[in-house]
Amino acid sequence: MQTNEVTQGALARRIDMAVSMADVEKDVESRLKKLARTVKMHGFRPGKVPLKIVEQTYGPQVRSEAIGAAVERVFGEKVREQNLRVAGYPDIQPADASAEGTLAFSATFEVYPEVKLGDLSAKEIERPVLEIGEAEVDRTLEVLRKQRATFEAVDRASQPEDRIVIDFTGRKDGVVFDGGQATDFPVVVGGGQMLPEFDVQLHGAKAGETRQFDLTFPAEYQAADLAGKTVQFEITVKRVEAAVLPEVDAAFAKTLGIADGDIARMREEVKTNLEREAKRRVQVRVRDQVLDALIDATAFDVPKALIDAEAQRMAEAARQDLVQRGIDAKNVPVEAGWFTEQAIRRVKLGLIVAEMVKDNDLQAKPEQVRERVQEMAQSYEQPAEFVKWFYSQRDRLSGVEDLVVEENVVAWVLSRAKASDKVVSFDELMGNAQA
């Protein structure tokens, strides 16, 4: 067997291989004899089928398997000999010509790049700082009150945050389209439940009123047959209902899990939850800046095979998400090419972080994992039982270990970059979550 390695670019490689047909034929004979001991054929007892008949029946398949095994073996030996890290799967094709007594092949593939972390000393990273006070607790309680609102019918035109009950019919080219009709449909005015062009028609509406209007669906609308199309809607308002918010009292506190209805304890728990959420959001903000800094500081070629594989995984995840949302993925074809840029970023970060962890001993330590699990347990009524349950299955720990590694990487980068604190507002940190 002969091999020859050819470099075709920064990461592309080609190995030309030739395997001896004599060796292949020996392997074929061995495989056929082994097969003859167990093969079942009509008219023969198991293990008594003549070798010649076994060869006539299974010879082509066995020979193909033997050639494939020989090529795979030679390729593996060459890769180990050259200490190559193959990225993805090699493309192995027969060569145009072979020397007498041999079969020639060429394997083209990519190798993993050499990743050398760039200089992080000039990278600026801001850590958001927010102190949760009584004002933030009050605002959160107001959101919680709205989430628990009841509605009462009123004799007036609808206003934002009112709930109105409507019948509606949507037609495209005069025909009611799938999903375009509903009866006694409740919708909150200005709640973002409907498309903006639909929602605006709900403002100032009164019970008994009928409105007709055109609506153009967004070009990226999930239903392909409606995307970018203009349809006609007719709505009839049946009721206008105003929101009635619950009082902040003992009964309200009990709905938030405070068994004795203690309002002070409720406020303290809300504050604790806000602090936990604020901490999480700060970590996300800092992590994203750290990852951006790593990508910006570290330049290297990324194997196309890894990018394609990641894009395919992301596309499949998107398809599964559509299915879970009750959407037929056939109506919304998802293409891997849509995710190429995101895939490049993910693959780059994966390679950078793997190198950092290996070179700087940033693996998750057992004590770090336990501390993280105990922190998670604080949101449960029986933290000790949660910790015990969590450790009862090894696979549950893998996600926490990944989080700890991420935290180790972030801390390592912060110790080398220009990190500074920045005071932010509640709205700025929480975004729309508390709006």
Q: Which helix (H) or strand (E) holds 223?
A: none
Query: Which residues, 6 or more positions from 335, have their beta carbon under 8 angstroms from its beta carbon?
Result: 315
Residue 299 confidence (pLDDT): 93
CA dist., res. 139 & res. 129, Å (int): 19
Query: Which residues, 6 or more positions from 201, have their beta carbon under 8 angstroms from its beta carbon?
Result: 211, 213, 233, 235
The class (CATH top level) of 2-111 is: alpha beta
Is CATH 1.10.3120.10 the right assignment for the domain spanning 124-131+262-434?
yes
Residue 435 confidence (pLDDT): 35
Residue 381 confidence (pLDDT): 80
Residue 367 confidence (pLDDT): 95
289-313: b (≥16 Cβ within 10 Å) or e: bbbebbeebbebebbebbbbbbbee
For tokens 């008594």, the residue is 48
CB 334 within 8 A of CB 222: no
Ranges in the chain annotated CATH 1.10.3120.10: 124-131+262-434
Beta strand pairing call for 124-129 and 418-423: parallel
Q: What letter represents residue 245's amino acid?
A: L
DSSP one-letter code for 217:
-
For the chain, what percentages of helix, strand and coil (3-state, to nearest 5) are there? 50, 20, 30
User: The whole model's pTM is what?
Assistant: 0.72
Ranges in the chain annotated CATH 3.10.50.40: 149-244
SS3 326: coil
CA dist., res. 374 & res. 370, Å (int): 6
Residue 7 confidence (pLDDT): 58
Ranges in the chain annotated CATH 3.30.70.1050: 2-111
CA dist., res. 227 & res. 53, Å (int): 62
Beta strands in 75-224 (DSSP E): 86-94, 102-111, 124-129, 150-153, 163-172, 175-188, 210-216
For residue 388 the two structure tokens come to: 């015990």
Count Cα atoms within 13 angstroms, Cβ side, for 380: 14
Q: What are the CA-CA distances from residue 286 to residues 86, 128, 160, 225, 427 (Å)?
A: 33, 8, 36, 42, 17
Query: Which residues, 6 or more positions from 297, have their beta carbon under 8 angstroms from its beta carbon?
Result: 117, 118, 119, 120, 123
Is CATH 3.10.50.40 the right assignment for the domain spanning 149-244?
yes
For residue 430 the two structure tokens come to: 């929480």
CB 309 within 8 A of CB 88: yes
DSSP count for the chain of H helices, then E strands? 12, 11
**Quick one: which of 162, 206, 159 has its CA closest to 186?**
162
Q: What are the CA-CA distances from residue 160 to residues 50, 157, 201 (Å)?
A: 86, 10, 12
DSSP one-letter code for 271:
H
Residue 45 confidence (pLDDT): 83
CB 235 within 8 A of CB 167: yes
**Quick one: which of 351, 346, 291 has its CA closest to 315?**
346
Crossing angle of helices 51-81 and 21-36, in 10° steps, is 130
pLDDT truncated to tens, each residue of the chain (435 aa)?
455 555 556 899 998 888 889 999 999 999 999 998 888 888 888 778 888 898 889 999 999 999 999 999 999 998 999 899 999 999 999 988 778 888 899 999 999 999 999 999 999 999 999 999 999 999 999 999 999 999 999 999 999 999 999 999 999 999 999 989 999 999 999 999 999 999 999 999 999 999 999 999 999 898 888 999 999 999 999 999 999 999 999 999 999 999 999 999 999 999 999 998 999 999 999 999 999 999 999 999 999 999 999 999 999 999 888 888 877 767 677 889 999 999 999 999 999 999 999 999 999 999 999 999 998 898 788 999 999 999 998 888 998 999 999 999 999 999 999 999 999 999 899 874 443
Q: HEC string of 71-103?
A: HHHHHHHHHHHCCCCEEEEEEEEECCCCCCCEE
Query: From edge to edge, which strands make up the β-sheet containing 12-20?
Result: 2-7, 12-20, 102-111, 86-94
